[in-house]
C-alpha cells in the first residue's frame, strides 16, 4: 500500500505548475567549459559492453588514467573529460576504439547537438581488386562513396608506391549493413569483383551485417523466425 502511494506521489503534478525557476549563467559557467573539453562515447553493443566497464577501461587503453575523468551519462552514453586539448585530439585521431571486441562510437562534446549526434562511426577501409588499368584516385573515390561518406583518401596517383589495396576513411551510420564485396563494370565493359576489408573489425552480425549486435540477438533474424513460425501454423 505504501509503495503504491509513493508511486502516485511520484507521478502526480505536484510542483509542475509552480512558477519557473530561473538559473543564472554563473552557476554553471564552469561546467560548460569543462564539457567542451570532453568526448562522448557510445558502446555499440551494450549486451557485451557494460557502461561501467567502458568508462573504467578506456582511459587505461589510452594511457591517460590519471588525466581523464569518466562518468556514465545514461543507459547509452559515457563522457570522458580531458585535462588537455592535445590528449583529446590524440584519442580522436586513433578512433574508432574497441572494447570487448565490439566498437565504440565517439564524438566531441557539442553544446547543442544535432539529431544525428553520435549516430555515425568512421573506419579505414581497404579497397582491393581494382584492375591495374583503372587504379586512380577517381576510381577509388567513386567506389568508396557507395559505402558511405568519404572522409579521406590515402592514395595519390603520383606518389603512392603500393597499390595492392587503397585505404579510404569512410563514415558509416552505426546501423548500416556492411558490404564486403561489390561487382563492378567499367565503361570499357571489363568487369571485376571488388572486396572491402575493414581495419580492426572483429565482430559483426553474420545475418544482417550490422556492428551493433551478435546473430543470436539480431532483430531481423528474430523477425524472420517469427514469420516462419506464423506461416507454418
**176-211 pLDDT, tens digit each:** 999 999 999 999 999 999 999 999 999 999 999 999
Of 88, 115, 63, the closest CA to residue 79 belongs to 88
What is the reported pLDDT for 230? 45
What is the reported pLDDT for 75? 87
Give pLDDT tens digits for 11-63.
666 677 889 889 998 888 888 888 999 999 999 998 999 998 998 999 999 99
Q: From CA 106, how far away is CA 95, in angstroms rounded?
A: 8
What is the reported pLDDT for 34? 85
What is the reported pLDDT for 8? 63
What is the reported pLDDT for 233? 52
The CATH architecture to which 29-118 belongs is 2-Layer Sandwich (3.30)
Q: How many CB atoms lie within 10 A of CB 17?
A: 6
Give pLDDT tens digits for 68-92.
998 998 889 999 999 999 999 999 9
What is the reported pLDDT for 14? 67
Query: The pTM is what?
Result: 0.81
What is the reported pLDDT for 18? 84
Give pLDDT tens digits for 122-178.
999 999 999 999 999 999 999 999 999 999 999 998 899 889 999 999 999 999 999
Residue boundaries of the structural domains of the chain: 29-118, 122-201
Amino acid at each position: 500500500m505504501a509503495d503504491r502511494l509513493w508511486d502516485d506521489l511520484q507521478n502526480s503534478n505536484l510542483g509542475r505548475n509552480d512558477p519557473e525557476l530561473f538559473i543564472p549563467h554563473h552557476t554553471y559557467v564552469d561546467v560548460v567549459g569543462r564539457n567542451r573539453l570532453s568526448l562522448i562515447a557510445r558502446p555499440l553493443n551494450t549486451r557485451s559492453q557494460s557502461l561501467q566497464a567502458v568508462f573504467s577501461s578506456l582511459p587505461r587503453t589510452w594511457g591517460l588514467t590519471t588525466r581523464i575523468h569518466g562518468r556514465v551519462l545514461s543507459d547509452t552514453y559515457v563522457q570522458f573529460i580531458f585535462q588537455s586539448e592535445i590528449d583529446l585530439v590524440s584519442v580522436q585521431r586513433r578512433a574508432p576504439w574497441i572494447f570487448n571486441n565490439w566498437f565504440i562510437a565517439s564524438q566531441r562534446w557539442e553544446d547543442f547537438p544535432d539529431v544525428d549526434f553520435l549516430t555515425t562511426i568512421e573506419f579505414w577501409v581497404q579497397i582491393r581488386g581494382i584492375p591495374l588499368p583503372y587504379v586512380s584516385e577517381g576510381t577509388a573515390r567513386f567506389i568508396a562513396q557507395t559505402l558511405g561518406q568519404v572522409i579521406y583518401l590515402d592514395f595519390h596517383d603520383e606518389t603512392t608506391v603500393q597499390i595492392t589495396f587503397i585505404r579510404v576513411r569512410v563514415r558509416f551510420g552505426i546501423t548500416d549493413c556492411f558490404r564486403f564485396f561489390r561487382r563492378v563494370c567499367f565503361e570499357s565493359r571489363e568487369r571485376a569483383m571488388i572486396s572491402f576489408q575493414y581495419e580492426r573489425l572483429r565482430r559483426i552480425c553474420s545475418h544482417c551485417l550490422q556492428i551493433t549486435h551478435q546473430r543470436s540477438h539480431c532483430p531481423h533474424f528474430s523477425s524472420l523466425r517469427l514469420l516462419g513460425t506464423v506461416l507454418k501454423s
